């Protein structure tokens, strides 16, 4: 079997297998898989509104995935995307409500605030790793909690005791009438464009700049990088800062596009953690992240339709979605099985 055919076949077989196992789970639980999957399909592609909402859901996954993937390529495991996203969300919303400025200044300023906040939240673990060799996984996990509770406290202060901020001024909003009209008034916003530009930015940094060359070298082999005169510590910090900035932008998507405010949270949003899976599904490449985010965003949003349209409890739905993603992620097992099947055929001849 040629490589090309395998590469094409693996994702298809993975998704089909995931769907079959998901169907079995629904069947065993006493629900109709056909109705279930019809509801899922309609929940993703049903009409222009759902397509718009699906795309809206994909947007923060794109940026969270980029954040994780970027750190991975530099040899770092950024589990702190969740926290960086939360501070980015708050920073963007705060700038959105605190001042009123012309849109041409206000919107970029709010976006920038989110990126800077995320970058700062990435800088701390980067610095600790570079200076004291503290493992970034530990620090980023802890930074997630700090982000969650600090922003909650700040929201209470800003809203004078309330649990959410005012709505941001329209001059800071990413929403666009054009997109809303196009998609039957979904919440699809211009952030999708920004996220796609960021995919290009990540590709550009990694593949076209000396910084990207260094980051990849450090990610693969710190000793050789040091020997070659690269500043390993600087690169570790840079990688975390850029990764954090991507994560902060994911927060801006929520603050300036989807919700247009920030409310205090009882727990994590989960987008940052799902970003890890998005990045890994996409093999940590910019294009792969588009694939991973699309899969995640579509399934997550489409699944919301399953309880309503097919009467399947949300718990079962979540299991089904997890199973599908699980099979896609285990693509290499399927690759192995395909190769083995091909090998057997050859022997039989």
Partner 1 sequence: MEYVIEMLNIRKEFGNFVANDNITLQLEKGEIHALLGENGAGKSTLMNVLFGLYQPEGGEIRVRGKKVDISNPNVANDLGIGMVHQHFMLVENFSVTENIILGSEPTKMGVTNKKDAAQKVAKLSEQYGLNVDPYAIIEDISVGMQQRVEILKTLYRGAEILIFDEPTASLTPQEITELIQIMKRLIAEGKSIILITHKLKEIMDVSDRVTVIRKGQGIGTVTTAETNPNELAALMVGRQVTFKTEKGPAHPTEETLTVQDLVVEDYRGIAKVKNLNLNVRKGEIVGIAGIDGNGQSELIEAITGLRKVKSGKVLIHGKDVTGMKPRKVTESGVGHIPQDRHKHGLVLDFPIGHNIALQTYYMAPISKSGIMDYNKITEKAQQIIKDFDVRTQGPHEPARALSGGNQQKAIIGREVDRNPDLLIAALPTRGLDVGAIEFIHSRLIEQRDNGKAVLLISFELDEVMNVSDRIAVIHDGEIVDVVIPEETTEQQLGLLMAGHADKDKKGGKHSVE
Listed residue (297, 282, 303) closest to 69, CA to CA: 282
Q: Provide CB contacts within 8 A for 286, sequence distance 6+.
A: 66, 69, 199, 200, 202, 203, 206
Select the span of 161-169, 223-231, 317-325, 328-336 touching partner 1 (CB under 8 A). 223-231
Q: Which stretch binds partner 1 (CB under 8 A): 50-58, 125-133, 134-142, 206-214?
A: 206-214
265: which DSSP letter?
Answer: -
The answer to whether 211 contacts partner 1 (rule: CB under 8 A) is yes
Of the pair 102, 223, the CB lying nearest partner 1 is at 223
Q: Between 1 and 24, whose beta carbon lies closer to partner 1? A: 1
List the one residue from 74, 186, 225, 285 that touches partner 1 (CB under 8 A).
225
Say how far residue 94 (Cα) sits from the centre of its chain.
22
* Residues 249, 198 contacting (CB under 8 angstroms): yes
Least CB distance from residue 72 to partner 1, whole Å? 13
**Of 44, 52, 63, the residue nearest 176 (C-alpha):** 52
Of 185, 220, 311, 313, the residue at the interface with partner 1 (CB under 8 A) is 220
Q: How far is the CB of 122 from partner 1 (least distance, A)?
A: 21
Of residues 177 and 210, the one with the C-beta less far from partner 1: 210
Q: Which is nearer to partner 1, 230 or 247 (CB)?
A: 230
Q: First-to-last CA distance in the chain?
A: 14
Instruction: Give the one residue of 164, 216, 234, 265 binding partner 1; rule: CB under 8 A.
Output: 216
C-beta atoms surrounding 223 within 10 Å:
8
The answer to whether 78 touches 122, Cβ cutoff 8 Å, is yes
* Shortest reach from residue 208's CB to partner 1, in Å: 6
Element (H, E) at 90: helix 81-98
Per CB under 8 A, 201 contacts partner 1: no
On whether the CB atoms of residues 129 and 240 are closer than 8 A, the answer is yes
Binding mask 226-255 for partner 1 (x = CB under 8 A): xxxxxx------------------------
Q: Applying CB under 8 A, does 203 fall inside the site for partner 1?
A: no
**DSSP code string of 266-333:** SS--SHHHHHHHHHHHTTT-HHHHHHHHHHHHHHHHHHTHHHHHH---HHHHHHHHHHHHHHHHTHHH
The count of C-alpha atoms lying within 13 angstroms of the C-alpha of 51, restricted to the half-sphere facing its C-beta, is 10
State the nearest-atom distance from the C-beta of 222 to partner 1, in Å. 10
Establish if 221 lies at the interface with partner 1 (CB under 8 A).
yes
Tell me the closest approach of the beta carbon of residue 233 to partner 1, in angstroms: 11
185: left (phi over 0), alpha (psi -120 to 50) or beta: left
Q: Which stretch binds partner 1 (CB under 8 A): 80-88, 125-133, 224-232, 251-259?
A: 224-232
Size of the site for partner 1 (CB under 8 A): 20
Q: How far is the CB of 338 from partner 1 (least distance, A)?
A: 19
Closest distance between partner 1 and the C-beta of residue 30, in Å? Answer: 42
Q: Rounded to the nearest 10 degrees, what angle do helices 81-98 and 271-281 cross at?
A: 120
Give the C-alpha distances (Å, rounded to integers) separating 216 from 140, 213, 233: 21, 5, 14
Single out the residue of 28, 160, 197, 210 in contact with partner 1 (rule: CB under 8 A): 210
213 is an interface residue for partner 1 by CB under 8 A: yes
209 binds partner 1 (CB under 8 A): yes
Q: Which residue of 131, 208, 340, 345 would you call a contact of partner 1, by CB under 8 A?
A: 208
* Residue closer to partner 1 (CB basis): 35 or 226: 226
Which residues are paired to 263 by β-bridges? 164
Based on CB atoms, which residue is closest to partner 1, 49 or 213?
Answer: 213
Residue ranges that bind partner 1, judged by CB under 8 A:
208-214, 216-217, 220-221, 223-231
């Amino acid at each position: 079997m040629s490589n090309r055919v395998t590469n094409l076949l693996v994702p298809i077989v993975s998704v089909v297998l995931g769907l079959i196992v998901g169907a079995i789970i629904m069947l065993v639980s006493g629900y109709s898989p056909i109705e279930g999957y019809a509801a899922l399909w309609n929940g993703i592609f049903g009409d222009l509104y759902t397509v718009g909402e699906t795309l809206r859901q994909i947007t923060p996954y794109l940026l969270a995935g980029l954040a994780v993937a970027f750190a991975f390529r530099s040899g770092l495991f950024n589990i702190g995307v969740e926290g960086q996203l939360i501070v980015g969300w708050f920073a963007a919303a705060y700038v959105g409500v605190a001042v009123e400025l012309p849109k041409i200044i206000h919107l970029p300023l709010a976006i920038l605030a989110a990126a800077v906040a995320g970058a700062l939240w990435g800088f701390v673990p980067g610095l600790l790793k570079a200076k004291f060799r503290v493992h970034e996984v530990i620090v980023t996990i802890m930074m997630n909690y700090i982000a969650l509770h600090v922003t909650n406290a700040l929201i209470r202060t800003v809203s004078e005791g309330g649990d959410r901020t005012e709505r941001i001024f329209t001059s800071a909003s990413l929403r666009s009438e054009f997109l809303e009209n196009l998609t039957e008034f979904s919440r699809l916003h211009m952030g999708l464009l920004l996220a796609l530009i960021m995919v290009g930015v990540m590709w550009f940094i990694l593949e076209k700049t000396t910084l990207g060359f260094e980051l990849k070298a450090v990610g693969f082999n710190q000793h050789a990088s040091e020997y070659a005169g690269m500043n390993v510590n600087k690169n570790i910090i840079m990688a975390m800062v850029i990764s954090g900035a991507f994560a902060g932008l994911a927060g801006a998507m929520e603050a300036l596009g989807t919700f247009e405010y920030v409310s205090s949270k009882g727990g994590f949003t989960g987008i940052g953690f799902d970003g890890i899976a998005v990045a890994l599904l996409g093999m940590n490449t910019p294009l792969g992240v588009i694939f991973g985010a699309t899969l995640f965003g579509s399934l997550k949003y489409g699944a919301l339709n399953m309880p309503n349209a097919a009467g399947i409890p949300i718990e079962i739905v979540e299991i089904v979605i997890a199973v599908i993603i699980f099979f896609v992620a285990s693509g290499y097992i399927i690759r192995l099985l395909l190769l083995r099947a091909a090998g057997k055929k050859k022997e039989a001849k």
